[in-house]
Amino acid sequence: MANKSRNWGYGAFAALLIGTMSLAGCGDGNGNAGSSSSSPEVSASASAPASASSSASPSASAAESQPYELKWLKAQDISLPYDPSKDAVKQAIEKKLNIKIVPEMVDVQQYKTKLNLKMSSSDIPDVARIDFADDFQKYAQQGAFVDLTDLLNEKDTPNILKEVPPEVFEQAKVNGRIYGIPYQGGPGAGYRWNLVLRKDYMEQVGASAPKTLDDYYNLLKKIKQEKPDVIPLGGYTAQIGQVKYANNSFDNIFGAFGVTPGFFTEKDGKFSNYDIDPRMRDALLFLQKMYKEGLIDKEFATIKEEQLRAKLYSGKLFSWMGWWSTANDYDTQVETNELIKSGKLAADGKLPNQAEQPFKYLTLLGSLVGPDGKAVAPMGAPFSQMNAISAKTKDPKRVLSIIEDSLSPDNQMLTVWGIEGEDYNLVDGKLKTVTDLVDPQTQQDKNGNFRGTQSYLFAPGLNGWPHYLESLPLRFSQALDVAINNPYQITDASNYLDSPTKIAKLVELNTMRDSVFTQIIMGGDIKKFDDFVEKWKSQGGNQILSELEESFKKKAGK
């Protein structure tokens, strides 16, 4: 595993998230990082540091020397405590970079909805971190963002151009123009989910880790029979209409059938979508069978992730799909509850940090394979979001200079890792994060400070954050190793292709899909799938496929 770790293509920000993880992960399910309390869905928006040239120059105007105020929409797991006014890292960033961040908190699962509401009003964040697919392209064409095409150059923005290669900016263009800076929240694309199982429960029923879907199904049946109070497979809802709603709970089931919800496919220039693939019908029938047999949590379609966490912490859950960086905290929480049950928990009710110890209660697996020995695992695009400057901000050029200055090596260390000597140390030139700095219950350090590392940053993470490889403790390296070395990863064939109908209609189609798929899993007539396929095609799907094919030909020079 040590050898594999040197080949990773994804950021190691997880060590800073200890005790603050949530099952959904830190982004949108494509591997995006977020705040110290974020999850794998969409991350927070704007970040910024003030221009060194504008704030340090002797000739700078009085206005330019004042901290620049930035409105900020910050995605936050509202089930965890957080007060931005007591965030030591935020304050350090503001002081060093001569800015004043004015954050507005929004629940991570409502971030996209809230941002869209703001985009349709005049109360737009100065910089918005926004999904590239659909939303960014739509608003860019409406004139919502500053056109950066003529503002990006080696003289004025060398840090930005160092962080984002020309070919990536080329992919990010809308109608041939640049309206934002690509962001991935950790280097590279990839699959970041694991199938997580209670290792102790498997041992108690005399089973070993499954490799195939049939093995897994039989194991769930055994758990159901021998541990009737334990839910074999848990799930929860994300925001309806999003890809993550359909696949995060049952990723491995769909994948073993060779499909994954929401992804477009391409073969010989012809496009389709897994949502209408006949194999999706088979996967839904299998899930329906599992649900009927009591192998799937009856509440999967209604509960939120914090409710699922309560079930797994209390020992009522055997397996679930987990974002790679969450497993350490979950193992510790499970151990805590087991010690409470046995009366052996320490008097202070706390366990020492476990990140450098092997997992005690959990086993992490990659994809389950189907009868043909194959599977699919949906990996993210090379970038999935954009940092875009609002056309309504009072000084777009200064905001761009803030972004530029934030990407200097020293400032990236602050915005990504926090304060040296507090959040991390450099030992013989290698970064070691302080993993026991924050109490997982209060989310505060011993001085009562919150520490929003990776909450207020622009660093794109496309090619790696500074020192990211060396920062992971053992458990995180094991979890990431399983996820990113999944050999069945696939990308969405529609990445960066143009389709006006996709922008206009995809959320509507996804919402219809989520409703129909959920109904079928919970016992609905499978004919609903056939009806869905026809509606998907007639209500915009076929037009999307046609537009993707034309865009594909255009980009291929045909």
Query: What does the pLDDT look like over 93-123, one tens digit per residue?
Result: 999 999 999 999 999 889 989 999 999 887 8
DSSP string, 460-496: --SS--TTTGGG--HHHHHHHHHHHT-TTEE--TTTT
**Of 308-317, 379-388, 534-543, which gets the smallest average pLDDT?**
379-388
Residue 153's CATH number: 3.40.190.10
DSSP string, 354-395: -TTS--SSEEEE-PPB-TTS---EEPPPS--EEEEEBTTSS-
- pLDDT value at 68 more than 90: yes
Name the residue with tokens 């194991």. Answer: 219
Q: What's residue 61's pLDDT?
A: 58
What is the separation of C-alpha 376 from the centre of its chain, rounded to a whole number of angstroms?
19
Does residue 7 sit within a domain? no
CB 231 within 8 A of CB 316: yes
Name the residue with tokens 């209604």. Answer: 302
- pLDDT value at 550 more than 80: yes
- pLDDT value at 46 more than 60: no
What are the φ/ψ torsions at residue 540 (nearest 5 degrees)? 125, -20
Query: In terms of domains, do 322 and 219 share one?
Result: yes
Q: What's residue 18's pLDDT?
A: 32
Q: What's residue 36's pLDDT?
A: 34
- pLDDT value at 7 more than 70: no
Query: In terms of domains, do 449 and 516 share one?
Result: no
Confidence at 477, pLDDT banded by 50, 70, 90: confident
* CA dist., res. 433 & res. 436, Å (int): 9
Query: In terms of domains, do 266 and 145 share one?
Result: no
Query: In terms of domains, do 362 and 293 share one?
Result: yes
Does residue 205 sit within a domain? yes
Confidence at 38, pLDDT banded by 50, 70, 90: very low
Nearest-10 Cα torsion for 177, 127, 497, 490: 140
* CA dist., res. 83 & res. 76, Å (int): 11
What is each CA distance from 355 to 15, 40, 61, 226, in whole angstroms?
8, 19, 49, 31
* CA dist., res. 234 & res. 290, Å (int): 12
Question: Which two structure tokens, joined as six digits, stand for 226?
Answer: 């021998």
Does residue 301 sit within a domain? yes
Does residue 534 sit within a domain? yes
CB 256 within 8 A of CB 368: yes
Q: What's residue 10's pLDDT?
A: 31
Query: In terms of domains, do 331 and 199 share one?
Result: yes
Does residue 203 sit within a domain? yes
Q: What's residue 48's pLDDT?
A: 35
Query: In terms of domains, do 139 and 288 share one?
Result: no
Dmax (CA) for the chain in angstroms is 77
Highest mean pLDDT (candidates 126-140, 157-171, 186-200, 470-484): 157-171
- pLDDT value at 43 more than 50: no
Number of domains, the chain: 2
Query: In terms of domains, do 365 and 500 share one?
Result: yes
- pLDDT value at 60 more than 90: no
Mean pLDDT confidence for 68-86: 93
- DSSP for residue 17: G
**pLDDT averaged over the chain?**
85
Does residue 479 sit within a domain? no
Task: Convert the pLDDT of each residue in 328-349 to its tens digit.
Answer: 999 999 999 999 999 989 888 8
Confidence at 25, pLDDT banded by 50, 70, 90: very low
Query: In terms of domains, do 146 and 238 share one?
Result: no
- pLDDT value at 254 more than 90: yes
Task: Convert the pLDDT of each residue in 163-218 to its tens digit.
Answer: 999 988 988 998 889 999 999 877 567 788 999 999 999 999 999 999 999 999 99
Does residue 482 sit within a domain? no
Query: In terms of domains, do 87 and 182 share one?
Result: yes
Does residue 401 sit within a domain? yes
- pLDDT value at 20 more than 70: no
- 347: helix, strand or coil: coil
Q: What's residue 363's pLDDT?
A: 98
Query: In terms of domains, do 374 and 397 share one?
Result: no
- pLDDT value at 406 more than 50: yes
Domain of residue 453 covers: 68-188+382-465
Q: What's residue 63's pLDDT?
A: 63
The residue length of the chain stands at 558
Dihedral (CA of 281, 283, 285, 287) sign = negative
Query: In terms of domains, do 374 and 387 share one?
Result: no
Q: What's residue 71's pLDDT?
A: 94
* CA dist., res. 401 & res. 408, Å (int): 11
Residue in 156, 193, 127 with CA at minimum distance from that of residue 385: 127
Query: In terms of domains, do 273 and 213 share one?
Result: yes
